Chains A and B, each alone.
Chain A
Amino acid sequence: MSKVVGIDLGTTNSLVAFVNGGAPAVIPDESGDTLLPSIVSVDEAGTVYVGREAQRRLLTDAARTVYSVKRFMGRGIEDVRGEERWFPFKVSGEAGGVVRIHLGGRQLTPPEISGFILRELKRRAEAFFTREGDFDPEAAAAVITVPAYFNDAQRTATRDAGRLAGLEVLRIINEPTAACLAYGLDKRHQGRIAVYDFGGGTFDISILRLEDGVFQVLSTNGDTHLGGDDIDRLLVQMVADDLGLDPAAQAEAVQAVRKAVIQSKWDLSEFDETHIEVAGLPGRAEPYRRRITRADFEALIAPIVARTLEPCRRALEDAGLKAAQIDEAVLVGGSTRIPMVRREVERLFGRKPHTDLNPDEVVAIGAAVQADILVSGRREMLLLDVTPLSLGIETMGGIVSKIILRNSTIPASGSEMFTTFVDSQTAVDIHILQGEREMAADNRSLGRFKLRGIPPMPAGLPRIQVRFQIDANGILSVSAHELRTGIEQAIEVKPSYGLTDEEVERMLIESFEHAQEDVDARMLIEFRNEAETIIAATEKTLRRPDFTEIAASLLKPEEVALIQAALADLKQSMGASDRNVIQVKTAALNQATHHLAEVMMNWTVQAALAGRTADDVAAKGR
């Protein structure tokens, strides 16, 4: 039987997971990686690269490489003004229409680019099933996760991306809810749970109630434009100002800076200080180097962290709960590794949040669990989610009349009566909106449609009932009928920030073939991936604030020089097209760092033991 997989289509990384015999697990690629960087690059020949190879191409061919495409899903050009200057690629689009991203000679929509990522995940899953000796390795369908606060256009764009990748999208589910599903799997957990989901590009808070295996979302709130990306941009800006970089003219240099600041952001979750180091900048012989402490970092990001707290308070209010009534808080998303974020969440909910689940993998696991529920029809667990935003229509004077309120459990429906204003009027214009504001212009336009075929009658006499249905995916459909005559109206909604069905069909046919199937090219990429992993690990160790101390007492003086030489050598060979060269140099660095790895392991164990002893003493003293 073909498989249904769970997919976390993330801003920074994407993952695919599957439930095998009741046990959900993330599916790794051939070299054991579970995370696929959500980056797509197209070279001159039209070959599409997805993942780590595309990530490397950011440093060499930035203008043909797209990252964080999720921020553009279901959005218009006016939504991304101001931030597009930090992206290496060009974006365009008509006001009120879908964004187009320029890649080489082509213009692609965000669903097409996300489609490439999904297709790579599908391929990864199928390769895995084949390796496992499965008779039917096809991954034909998927459950895909989206931020809880995604609006209708963003959800629809995600569904379109799935279709473009050749996947049947069985269900769109919300990321925090998926995480909770994975979290509540063991059924030990009951009560009220807050899921704080701070990812690469989006922030969500969901309050759930778990009882008898029913996961009922009470309220949700968030910001679909707030994440680790924004933290990275602050750091990039800081360094760019130091260097006087022009993002428009020096895209590759900006990307090198971005890579370095992300690394230091990660370091600062572990250490009190680190260095931002960028080598190979144009016009500079020496690498750029700047010391940054955790306190500096926290001062910089405090406004961003603060922006996550207001949605939390609103979600609590909507759920009718006080922070103290929350039984457990769960952290999801890479940005929750930041100590300051953990501290703030702990302060808000007055309890230590759970961090025992891998914040990168938990959403994909939840998606796989939901996929399993759909396929198996097992009823022990049930997910009841809500719609994050109110749905309404524009009425006289540009005011919104709400038809389905935010935080309504989905599926949900609502209806509204319309009539005519002029004798013999046969059509009425209807404008659908999503949001909480009073005036239509301040809300998100989902689409407009014309109700046609109203039987000619005196003004005010026709009674047209328009029915809005939000399905379990959080996606809207509209139907209408005239009550006096019973005539059903054909409705075609022109999506404001989406693609029409015809456009999706055309893209399906047009979509160019993945040229990555070449075995040699794939092997080269795998060797590069492996080399990159060991480079990153070695550099991280060398940057440790306590490294000089460790080296002085535990390493031979020439050892450090040898490691640095092997490291430089491997970095030099990364661009080589001969995979054997990379393989040999990787082995050399591996060899050179063998003793260092042992020393570091012992050092960590010693430190951990020392820490525990101190705690024990303190506990006994009390």
Chain B
Amino acid sequence: MQPDTNAIPIDPCKHCGTEAPVDVHFCPRCDRLLTLGRHGDYFTFFGLRRRLRLDVKDLEQRFRALSRLFHPDYFHNAAPAERLASLERSSYLNDAFRTLRDPMARLEYLLKLEGFTPKESRDATTKVPQGLLEEVFELNEELEAIQEMRAAGESAAAVALRLSAARRPIEANLARHEEQLDALMSAHDARLEAGDAEGRHEALIALRTLLLERTYLLNLLATVRREAGAGEAAAS
């Protein structure tokens, strides 16, 4: 979904017709729960800026407070429009909380929200990111060698040892990525606070690349794990 940055979307209250920005939860005039608009985003819904480093405790508290405002339990005897509003707003809240609670899901969401929907994301599992070409090449060679070892009847222990050795550089690289992501997220937030739009844009581009690479590294680790699993299955 592309954010509409120019217009402030307005949805009228179904009960009294008063217009209010979508992320105002209750009608300013008649105090009824408002229907959820089609625009808006998870951050504003929680009353938060688009920061990548969130205080999870604070987020949880906001989540509980908002749940207490519009959970369907409390609109049991309300008019149908308000009941529906409660259902929709609660669903949206739950989706928003699940996304923002997890740092990586939060980053992915922000990238999408800011229009960084990477076309590559669909290919993330198949196409090798530029920065990882060498690594992937080496791992593939190593996995082939391991398969040959197994075919040649080498002991399971020897195969397992070599597999865990193959994991190590990937794990180290993954750890480096997480560190860099961490640092860049802080940098992004600092630029957001400073009103440095250009710097923020650069940070997001770099974050997108790192995120894609991280996803790819996780998939590589899963491949190694599968290989280890295949070994165990063959051994038993």
A166 to B95, CA, bound (A): 35
Contact of B68 among A374, A379, A408, A471 (CB under 8 A): A379
List residues of chain B with CB within 8 A of the CB of A408. Answer: 94-95, 98
In the bound assembly, the distance between CA atoms of A471 and B68 in angstroms comes to: 16
Let me know if A469 and B91 touch, CB within 8 A. Answer: yes
Q: Of A377, A383, A471, which one neighbours B76 at CB under 8 angstroms?
A: A377
On whether the beta carbons of A471 and B67 are closer than 8 Å, the reply is no
CA separation between A415 and B72, bound complex, in Å? 21
Asked whether, in the complex, the Cβ of B73 is within 8 Å of the Cβ of A374, the reply is yes
Contact of A379 among B74, B77, B90, B94 (CB under 8 A): B74
A163 CB to nearest chain B CB (Å): 18
Contact A214 B73 (CB under 8 A): no
On whether A377 and B74 interact (CB within 8 A), knowing A214-B64, A382-B67, A408-B98, the answer reads yes
Q: How far is the CA of A382 from the CA of B68 in the complex (A)?
A: 7
Chain B binding site: helix, strand, loop or mixed by DSSP? helix
Tally of B interface residues using CB under 8 Å = 19
Contacts of B91 in A (CB 8 A): 411-413, 469
Chain A 132-163, CB-CB to B under 8 Å as 1, else 0, gives: 00000000000000000000000000000000
Taking a contact as CB atoms under 8 Å apart, the answer to whether B73 and A411 are in contact is no
Are A382's CB and B71's CB within 8 A? yes
Set of chain A residues within 8 Å of B95, measured between Cβ atoms: 408, 412-413
Q: Which residue of B lies closest to A214 (CB)?
A: B64
- The residues in A between 576 and 595 inclusive whose CB is less than 8 angstroms from any CB of B are none
Residues of B contacting A33 in the complex (Cβ-Cβ under 8 angstroms) = none
* Cβ–Cβ < 8 Å partners of A373 in chain B: 73
Q: Please indicate the chain A residues that have their CB under 8 angstroms from the CB of B76 in the complex.
A: 170, 374-375, 377
- Chain B, residue nearest A470 (CB): B91
Closest Cβ–Cβ distance, residue A607 to chain B (whole Å): 48
Interfacial chain B residues near A375, Cβ < 8 Å: 76
CB distance from B139 to the nearest CB of A (A): 25
For B58-88 the 0/1 string (1 means CB < 8 A from A) is 0010001001100111101100000000011
Among A374, A382, A410, which residue has its beta carbon within 8 angstroms of that of B94? A410
Within 8 A of B (CB), among A357-407: 373-375, 377, 379, 382-384
Closest residue of B by beta carbon distance from A212: B64
A476 proximal to B (CB < 8 A): no
Answer whether A383 and B73 are a contact pair too, CB < 8 Å, given A212-B64, A409-B97, A411-B94. yes
**Is A77 in the interface zone, CB < 8 Å from B?**
no
Contact of B67 among A377, A384, A412 (CB under 8 A): A384
| Complex: chain B residue closest to A414, CB-CB | B95
Nearest-neighbour CB distance to chain B for A469, whole angstroms, equals 7
The verdict on A409 contacting B94 (CB below 8 Å), with A377-B74, A379-B74 known, is yes
A212 neighbours in B (Cβ, 8 Å): 64
Please tell me if the beta carbons of B64 and A471 are within 8 angstroms of each other in the complex: no
> Least Cβ distance of A1 to chain B in Å?
12
Residues from chain B with a CB closer than 8 A to the CB of A410 are 94
Whole-angstrom distance from the CB of A590 to the nearest CB of chain B? 48
CB closest chain-A residue, reference B76:
A374
Residues of A within 8 Å of B90, CB to CB, are 411, 472
Contact indicator A411/B87 (Cβ below 8 Å): yes
Q: Establish whether residues B97 and A382, one from each chain, have CB atoms under 8 Å apart when the complex forms.
A: no
- Across-interface contacts of B74 in A (CB, < 8 A): 377, 379
- CB pair B98 A409 closer than 8 Å: yes
Q: Write out the residue numbers on chain A whose beta carbons fall within 8 Å of the beta carbon of B72.
A: 411, 471-472
A211 at interface, CB cutoff 8 A: yes
Min CB gap A162→B, angstroms: 16
A374-B76, A379-B74, A382-B67 as given contacts; A413 in contact with B98, CB under 8 Å: no
- Minimum CB–CB distance for A395 against chain B, Å: 15
Q: Contacts A379-B68, A379-B74, A382-B67 given: A471-B94 contact, CB under 8 Å?
A: no
Q: Bound complex: CA of A469 vs CA of B92, how far in Å?
A: 11
Chain B residues, CB < 8 A from A382? 64, 67-68, 71, 73
B135 to chain A, nearest CB (A): 28
Q: Nearest-CB distance from A191 to chain B (Å)?
A: 14
Report the minimal beta-carbon distance from B95 to chain A, rounded to whole angstroms. Answer: 7
Q: A140 → chain B, closest Cβ, in Å?
A: 14
Write the nearest CB–CB distance from B122 to chain A, whole angstroms: 14
Query: Which residues on B sit within 8 Å (CB–CB) of A412?
Result: 91, 94-95
B87's nearest neighbour on chain A, judged by CB, is: A411
The answer to whether A211 and B64 have CB atoms under 8 Å apart is yes
- Tell me which residues from 28 to 69 in chain B have a Cβ below 8 Å from any Cβ of chain A: 60, 64, 67-68
Contact among B60, B87, B97 for A471, CB-based, below 8 A: B87
In the complex, what residues of A have CB within 8 A of residue B71's CB? Answer: 382, 384, 472
* B-side contacts of A171, CB under 8 Å: 73
Max chain A CB contacts within 10 Å: which of B71, B73, B74? B73
CB-based nearest A residue for B89: A411
Q: In angstroms, how far is the closest chain A Cβ from the Cβ of B109?
A: 15
Q: What distance in Å separates the Cβ of B133 from its nearest Cβ neighbour in chain A?
A: 30
Highest count of chain B CB atoms <10 Å: which of A216, A469, A472: A472
A498 to B39, CA, bound (A): 37
* Distance of B183 from chain A, by nearest CB (Å): 24
Chain A residues 163 to 194 lying within 8 A of chain B, measured CB to CB, are 170-171
List the A side residues contacting B88 at CB < 8 Å: 413
Chain B residue with Cβ nearest A386: B94
Complex Cα spacing A411 to B68, Å: 14
Residues of B within 8 A of A379 (CB): 68, 74
Collect the chain B residues with CB atoms within 8 Å of residue A214's CB.
64, 67-68
CA distance A177 to B91 in the complex (A): 19
Q: What separation, in Å, do the CA atoms of A211 and B67 have in the docked complex? A: 13
User: Which residues of chain B are near A384, meaning CB under 8 Å?
Assistant: 67, 71
Chain A residues whose CB sits within 8 angstroms of the CB of B68 once the complex forms:
214, 379, 382
B158-191 with Cβ < 8 A to chain A: none
Chain A positions within 8 Å of B87 at CB level: 411, 469, 471-472
Give A413 to B68 CA distance when docked, in angstroms.
19
How far is B219's CA from A373's CA once the two chains are assembled, in angstroms?
Answer: 46
Chain A 322-376 residues near chain B, CB threshold 8 A: 373-375
- In the complex, chain B residues whose CB is within 8 Å of the CB of A211: 60, 64
Which of A216, A409, A469, A472 makes the CB contact (< 8 A) with B73?
Answer: A472
Q: Return B99 CB to nearest CB of chain A, in Å.
A: 11
Q: Which of A373, A374, A411 has the most CB of B within 10 A?
A: A411
9 more A-B contacts (CB under 8 A) besides A374-B73, A384-B71? A211-B64, A379-B68, A382-B67, A408-B98, A409-B97, A409-B98, A411-B90, A413-B88, A472-B71
- 22 A-B pairs in the complex with CB atoms less than 8 angstroms apart: A211-B60, A214-B67, A214-B68, A374-B73, A374-B76, A377-B76, A379-B74, A382-B64, A382-B67, A382-B71, A383-B73, A384-B71, A408-B94, A408-B95, A409-B94, A410-B94, A411-B90, A412-B95, A469-B87, A471-B87, A472-B72, A472-B90
Which residues of B come within 8 Å of A, CB atoms? 60, 64, 67-68, 71-74, 76-77, 87-88, 90-92, 94-95, 97-98
